[in-house]
Amino acid sequence: MPKALIIGSGVAGTATALFLAPQGWDCAIFEARAEHASDGGLFLNVATNGLAVLEEVGLRERLMEDAHRCPYMEMYSGRGALLGVVPNGPAGDPDRGSAVVRRAWLNQVLRDAVTVAGIPITLGARLRDIREERETVTAVFADGRTAQGDIVIGADGVGSPTRRWIDDRAPEPAYSGLVSVGGTARVPGLAPTPQTQRMVFGARSFFGYLVRDDGTVLWFANTTEPEQDRESFRRVPAATWLERLRELHADDPSPVSEILAHVDGEIGAYPLYDLLHVPHWQRGRVVAVGDAVHATSPSAGQGASLALEDAFVLARCLREERDHAAAFSQYQSLRQPRAEEVVRYARAVNKQKRVTRSRLGIALRDAMLPMFLRKASSDTRNNHLYRGVVEEVAR
């Protein structure tokens, strides 16, 4: 049985194992962290196309048990005026809209399925090097352990060492100018927001929230922050972020301040980096998937869904093409244009979120956005993003 060493137990790594194992691959996952992360209260969008991939491994219903169906997004100005309602899924087809879930829940659903499939996850295994031999490949971990297999699949996220092993001149992630901070809250009397998520173009920071049927508020803010290294961002205590957000959103319309006053549980913060064009996704017996080769900021709501699609497509290529090098190259050519289109789209959205201090800039944005959003509400040009690879394969 051929052996696949999968580096990283995030969405891309676990999903790849779930598609490969039934095809006769002996999969083993290696994760750098010593324990599975709780991710604070961070949540993410699983788009229509990502849900279709989960359906293929029988996990869609399980995920939806703790999801907020979200076929729409409502956009508000910093003065509380409704600027527009846009589809979060294919325009004109709300039944096939996307879902918002806690990041930790998506990871848990995938991990539980991995456990049921008998695929081992080794924690505390940080990939340090890869050695390729004629017939095999060896992953070398920071503590000196090694593992040998037929292929290595790097699902090791935006800071991917696999990407650098594939090409030591691979681009480094680009900082978007925004940090995403998020968590949960309970605000007495705040009504649920069924089918939708609300976004507020605040005067000094962008804010999003939804209220689940049980009253739990999931909220996030994208604040404009000067660049510093990723480690320094990580060292900022949660309480400092919260204090900063309370100040930045003090003048924004209700219920933004109320939500920030009633935060409960952990707060997660992460700077938004992306990777637009990584020339080489594979070399020899090594290939990379997910954020490792096309990280996108959450503004397109597609990061997890692209990772799920990669897993699906890579497994298809390895099924149809026994030669791994040919399969890897087919995988890259099938995935790269779509992934880059999403990263570009998310960059365009980020421009709207970055805060301009000028009153004129805010007035112009609030005047232009309703027109733009009206067009977006019926614009079917993005529908192909939500149609996704499962439908393409089925056609």
Ligand X SMILES: Cc1cc2nc3c(=O)[nH]c(=O)nc-3n(C[C@H](O)[C@H](O)[C@H](O)COP(=O)(O)OP(=O)(O)OC[C@H]3O[C@@H](n4cnc5c(N)ncnc54)[C@H](O)[C@@H]3O)c2cc1C
Q: Does 75 bind ligand X (CB under 6 A)?
A: no
Q: Which helix (H) or strand (E) holds 115?
A: helix 103-116
Q: Is the dihedral of CA 367, 370, 375, 381 positive or negative?
A: positive
Give the binding range for ligand X (CB under 6 A) out of 41-49, 79-87, 167-175, 198-206: 41-49
The residue range among 6-14, 143-151, 200-208, 247-255 that interacts with ligand X, by the rule CB under 6 A, is 6-14
Helix (H/G/I), strand (E/B), else coil: 84:
strand
Taking CB under 6 A as the criterion, the residue among 4, 5, 6, 7 binding ligand X is 7
* Residue 309 touches ligand X, criterion: CB under 6 A: no
CB nearer to ligand X: give 71 or 268.
268
Taking CB under 6 A as the criterion, the residue among 10, 71, 89, 202 binding ligand X is 10
Beta-bridged to residue 139, according to DSSP, are 130, 147
Tokens of 37: 């992360």
CB of residue 201 vs ligand X: minimum separation in angstroms? 19
From residue 25, alpha-carbon distances to 21, 102, 124, 150 in Å are: 5, 30, 23, 10
Count Cα neighbours of 73 within 13 Å in the Cβ-side half-sphere.
25
Question: Does 105 engage in binding with ligand X (CB under 6 A)?
Answer: no
Among 4, 6, 11, 389, binds ligand X (CB under 6 A): 11
Q: Which of 19, 25, 30, 206 binds ligand X (CB under 6 A)?
A: 30
Q: Which of 4, 5, 9, 221 binds ligand X (CB under 6 A)?
A: 9
Report the nearest approach of ligand X to the CB of residue 38 (Å).
Answer: 11
Q: Are 88 and 301 in contact (CB under 8 A)?
A: yes
By CB under 6 A, residue 155 contacts ligand X: yes
The nearer residue to ligand X, 14 or 193, going by C-beta atoms, is 14
Long-range pairs of 95-98 with CB within 8 A, sequence gap ≥ 24: 95/71, 96/48, 96/71, 96/386, 97/48, 97/69, 97/70, 97/71, 97/72, 97/195, 98/45, 98/46, 98/47, 98/48, 98/50, 98/51, 98/70, 98/71, 98/301, 98/386
- Looking at beta carbons only, is 10 or 71 nearer to ligand X? 10
CB of 290 to ligand X, least distance (A): 2
CB atoms within 10 A of CB 64: 16
Minimum distance from CB of 334 to ligand X (Å)?
Answer: 17
* Identity of the residue, 187 or 289, whose beta carbon is nearer to ligand X in the bound complex: 289
Out of 89, 97, 161, 271, the only residue in the binding site for ligand X (CB under 6 A) is 161
46 lies in the site for ligand X, by CB under 6 A: no
Identify the residue among 78, 157, 177, 183 touching ligand X (CB under 6 A).
157
Could you tell me the end-to-end alpha-carbon distance of the chain, in angstroms, rounded to an integer? 31
Q: How far is the CB of 63 from ligand X (least distance, A)?
A: 13
Q: How far is CA 387 from the centre of its chain?
A: 18
Cβ atoms of 137 and 149 within 8 Å: the answer is: yes
Choosing from 50, 87, 303, 388, the residue that interacts with ligand X (CB under 6 A) is 303
Q: Is 339 in the site for ligand X (CB under 6 A)?
A: no
Interface region with ligand X, contact rule CB under 6 A, candidates 18-26, 29-37, 75-83, 342-350: 29-37
Q: Closest by alpha carbon to 57, among 89, 20, 2? A: 20
Looking at 5, 17, 32, 373, which residue binds ligand X (CB under 6 A)? 32
**One character per residue 113-152, x = contact with ligand X (rule: CB under 6 A):** ------------xxx-------------------------
Q: Select 173 or 290, whichever has its Cβ closest to ligand X.
A: 290
Rule CB under 6 A: say whether 271 interacts with ligand X.
no
Strand pairing class (146-149; 137-141): antiparallel
Question: What gap in Å lies between CA 51 and CA 302, rounded to an integer?
Answer: 11
* Residue (of 9, 90, 15) closest to 60 by Cα position: 15
Least distance in angstroms from the C-beta of 269 to ligand X: 9
User: Any contact of residue 183 with ligand X (CB under 6 A)?
Assistant: no
CA distances (Å), 302 to each of 34, 219, 236, 313, in order? 27, 18, 27, 16
DSSP structure class, residue 22 = G
Interacting residues toward ligand X by CB under 6 A: 7-13, 30-33, 39, 42-45, 103, 125-127, 155-157, 161, 180, 182, 270, 290-292, 298, 303-304, 307
